[in-house]
A and B are shown apart, each in its own frame.
Chain A
Amino acid sequence: MIIAVSVMALGAILLGAALGYASIRFRVEGDPLVEKIDAILPQTQCGQCGFPGCRPYAEAISRGEADINQCPPGGEEGVRKLADLLGRDFKALSAEHGEEKAKSVAVIDEQSCIGCTLCIQACPVDAIVGAAKQMHTVVASLCTGCELCVPPCPVDCIHMEALRETAENWRWKYPVFQLEQAA
């Protein structure tokens, strides 16, 4: 009886020590799930999800505080990928966070810009160049289309322009053929 108990106890102590050592030796810095969720998010940093940027939203999802359908720029496909990653069911984008739009970039009407720098301060990815009392302009290749620069503009000279199809970004479409009609 005593031998049995002491053997079990010894086993427990040894295993406990091994686990304790492993938890220190193989410790993972940060939460890998957050990284994975963040990699799926589109990085527009638009805040439409209700969090200040994509990473905070990723953290909220991993803590279970936010749902997976709050990211309109990621679209339905983004929700699907998140559902796959987290093993949840797909759900439609929540209407209160906005709807999926075609990718667009901000364009500043350079004639009306008064050089107030408010949009520069609002841009989360530093895609607007300009200085006080100088005309501002958007670097289109860096713009994520988050629309955060639109409301601060005091003269309403920023509008969103959908990206046009050019020979550079054109790609073959999904083939659609008529099926054979039954006579």
Chain B
Amino acid sequence: MSLSTLFRFKGGIKPEAHKDASAGIPIAPAPLPSRLVIPLRQNARATARPLVEAGQRVLKGQIIGAAEGTLATAVHAPTSGLVRAVEMAPVPHPSGLEALCVIIEPDGDERWIDLQPFDHRNASPQRIRDYLRDCGIVGLGGANFPSHIKLTPGEAGIRTLILNGGECEPWITCDDRLMRERAERILGGALIMREITGASHILVGIEDNKPEAVQAMSAAASRLGAEGVTVHAVPALYPAGGEKQLIRVLTGVEIPYGKLGTHFGVQCFNVGTAYAIHRAITCGEPLLSRILTLTGNMARPGNFEVLIGTPIRELLPLADPRPDTDHFLMGGPMMGFALPSLSAPVVKATNCIIAASPALFPPPPPEMPCIRCGACAQVCPAELQPFELYWHARAKNLGKAQEYHVFDCIECGCCAYVCPSRIRLVDYFRYAKGEIWAREREKSAADAARERFEFRNLRTEREKQEKAERLAAKTAAGREAVARAAAAAPATASAPTAATVATASAPQPRAADATKALIQAALDRAKAQKAAVTPRNTDNLTAEQKAEIAEIEARRAKIREMARPHTPPDE
């Protein structure tokens, strides 16, 4: 543990931590569920392409979804079994909408693919990043951002690597337990990342309400004996585990609007991500499971290692929710959301499931008018003015909301927590952000439509012109041919050119003759064409075939003869 100076970020709150409920309980493996639902959708901009179909057998760790697009990572089968379907199924999303999922029925054998450790020391940086993408490594802090992108050093390079063990949200203890139990492997992952990025030092930031984790990480750091690794206990102040906030606390760097940590040589990873990277590099294991906390209104809260894709409904009996539970939250109580469906699976972002009862999480009180007290501005860690933003978002004055930097809002919920009028400010900011994005999309769609429309007009115009030109050339050529024919006749000594014929500068009778000749020529052409297409299968027949035809004709004549009496007289 280091005693170097820590900085602090502005604002923040101290909600009741509730971590004792599950912090003392060791990580237990969750049993294999009866079926696994693995969403192919990873974030708003990336959905993997399915590589398996119903009825196919898959091995544990086999890639079932290919990464498509820059923000995508591969999707794997969390255990061996049979693919039951590739279909739309509920996913953990605040909307409760469905997304494309691969549904696997485990066979219980846990048969792995061939696992090969990855030699990152002799691989090019691009190769390492591709490998991590194909291992499905994403940030496990909750935002699910692909790690291989974060490991790409920007222009400034990465000098400082930060391990985020903040875990500032109440109730959640999965990172705490991971640090207590698997500290060495977390640091091993961090050292691998340091080698990949060429960073000089690693800072581990852990909130000081987790002394055991701080101790375990410090002990692991001294056991590994790695240079430049320091473990810091940062003051427990929500949201100290926010990326920008932790960077500020540990390095003093304030990241301005529109910039990322890499612009300042700092990059931040969750401890769970470091652990997953360690497993991927040293064992060749893709990211198939994660640690999550089951807590809240549960009889036996705890921390579990759960396969990605386990339906939440099947997970709940492990912690035994009490009967007065009326809904479940995914994520923490500050930033999480109520799960619309319990058949939704655990995904890589699921760090915590909280059982909520009316006693523990009373229904939101009705909101009252803003009294402009400014309490929200005092606690905002992004140094925004939430009350201003609230007015503009509420009035749907989105341009103004953007001017007040609504996109800098990290949706931590501090403002709503302290609001004496109990206004749920974050809901307004989320609405404003979504609306601005939607309009942006509409605008670019309209611009694309305008471009296509203008191009189409241009094209039709060009085609019309080309057609006219072709026609003119054809007529001119025809006239020239006639004129040449006329010139060949003995009467004319000086053959008029097609141009002179066309401009009618030639004498009237000649022009009329030319027109007549043109028509005649066209008629001849048509006749020749018709003759060419007329079938001639009656030519060149053998005597045998002729006899056969004659016989058939005779038979037909007979039939006609027989049919005659029956036909009505007018036919």
Chain A positions near chain B (C-beta within 8 angstroms): 38, 41-45, 53-55, 124-127, 142, 144, 165-175, 177-181
Contacts and interface: CB of A to CB of B under 8 A. Distances in A.
Contact of A142 (B95, B98, B99, B452): B452
Contact of A178 (B366, B396, B435, B445): B366
B449 A44 contact: yes
Max count, chain B CB within 10 A of own CB: residue among A54, A144, A175: A175
B446 A177 contact: no
- Those 5 A-B pairs whose CB atoms lie nearest each other, nearest first: A171-B434, A172-B430, A43-B446, A175-B427, A180-B366
Contacts of B431: 171-175
Contacts of A142: 448-449, 452
B93 A124 contact: no
A167 B364 CA distance: 26
Given A42-B446, A144-B449, A165 B366 contact: no
A43 B430 contact: no
Contacts of A174: 396, 431
B555 interface: no
A53 B460 CA distance: 15
A44 B447 CA distance: 10
Given A179-B366, A180-B368, 17 more contacts: A38-B450, A44-B449, A45-B453, A53-B453, A54-B453, A126-B455, A127-B452, A165-B95, A166-B97, A167-B44, A167-B97, A167-B99, A172-B434, A174-B431, A175-B427, A177-B424, A180-B366
Contacts of B365: 180
Contact of A43 (B95, B449, B455): B449
A54 B366 contact: no
B452 A167 contact: no
**Chain B interface, >50% SS class:** helix
A177 B365 CA distance: 9
A74 to B, nearest CB: 10
B427 A167 contact: no
B41 interface: yes
B496 to A, nearest CB: 42
A174 to B, nearest CB: 5
B456 interface: yes
Contacts of B427: 172, 175
Contacts of B438: 169, 171
A167 B457 CA distance: 36
Contacts of B449: 43-45, 125, 142, 144
Interface in B6-52: 41, 44
Interface string B423-462: 0100110110111011000100111111011011100000
Contacts of A170: 93, 95, 97
Nearest to A52: B457
26 contacts: A42-B446, A43-B445, A45-B453, A53-B457, A54-B453, A55-B450, A125-B452, A126-B452, A127-B452, A142-B452, A144-B449, A167-B95, A168-B44, A169-B438, A170-B97, A171-B435, A171-B437, A172-B431, A174-B396, A174-B431, A175-B428, A179-B366, A179-B367, A179-B368, A180-B365, A181-B366
A169 B44 CA distance: 8
Contacts of B59: none
Given A124-B453, A125-B456, A168-B44, A177 B366 contact: yes
Interface in B206-240: none
Contacts of A175: 424, 427-428, 431
Which of B97, B364, B428 is packed against the most chain A CB atoms within 10 Å?
B97
B258 to A, nearest CB: 22
B91 interface: yes
Nearest to B448: A142
Given A171-B438, A177-B364, A177-B367, A126 B91 contact: no
Contacts of A179: 366-368
Contacts of B44: 167-168
A181 B366 CA distance: 9
A181 B434 CA distance: 30
A174 B430 CA distance: 9
A42 to B, nearest CB: 6
B370 to A, nearest CB: 13
B571 to A, nearest CB: 35
Contacts of B437: 171
Contacts of B433: 172
Nearest to A164: B97
B343 to A, nearest CB: 15
A43 B447 contact: yes
Contacts of B93: 167, 170
Interface string B358-397: 0000001111100000000000000000000000000010
Nearest to A40: B446
A177 B363 CA distance: 12
A125 B453 CA distance: 5
